[in-house]
């Protein structure tokens, strides 16, 4: 019984901490979206809180790349990503979906030799491109 009470208290504290973090992030998002276009300190902070993420995986004789972009207003250097990809791979499809305040880019490629493509190296390179603009 005591363990259950302690667990509930522990979880209530976790809820308080997470709620405070959520409120802080919501305020940061509201501030950055209300400020209009252009890059300001809040948008840069938002980019640091929610960096662009890249997922690279092999599929059907090619590579599937998914990029979760940090912000609709900030833009995203998709052309740089496509240029970096096209050096080694042929782009078959490139689509995007809007979700909340983010863009999800899906890029399907084909490769002459999938085994020679280092997915982790490609992922690191694309993360660098996607977050340094």
The domain ranges of the chain are 2-45, 51-131
Work out the number of other CB atoms within 10 angstroms of the CB of residue 93: 9
Q: 116 is written with which tokens?
A: 């020679």
Entry pTM: 0.59
Q: Which architecture characterizes domain 51-131 according to CATH?
A: 2-Layer Sandwich (3.30)
Burial (Cβ within 10 Å: 0-12, 13-18, ≥19) of residue 96: middle
**Residue-level pLDDT, tens digit, the chain, 133 residues:** 888 888 888 888 888 888 888 888 877 777 765 555 444 455 444 444 567 889 999 887 889 999 988 765 665 678 888 988 888 889 999 998 888 778 889 999 997 776 777 888 989 999 888 887 6
């Amino acid at each position: 019984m005591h363990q259950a009470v302690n667990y509930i208290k522990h979880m209530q504290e976790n809820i308080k901490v997470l709620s405070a973090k959520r409120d802080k992030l919501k305020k940061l998002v509201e501030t950055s979206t209300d400020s209009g276009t252009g890059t300001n300190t809040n948008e840069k902070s938002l980019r640091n809180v929610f960096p662009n993420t890249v997922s690279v995986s092999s599929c059907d004789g090619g590579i599937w790349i998914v990029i979760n972009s940090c912000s609709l207003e900030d833009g995203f250097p998709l052309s740089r990503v496509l240029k970096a990809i096209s050096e080694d791979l042929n782009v078959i499809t490139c689509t995007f979906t809007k979700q909340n305040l983010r863009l999800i880019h899906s890029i399907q490629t084909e490769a002459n030799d999938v085994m020679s493509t280092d997915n982790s190296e490609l992922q690191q390179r694309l993360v660098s491109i996607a977050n340094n603009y």
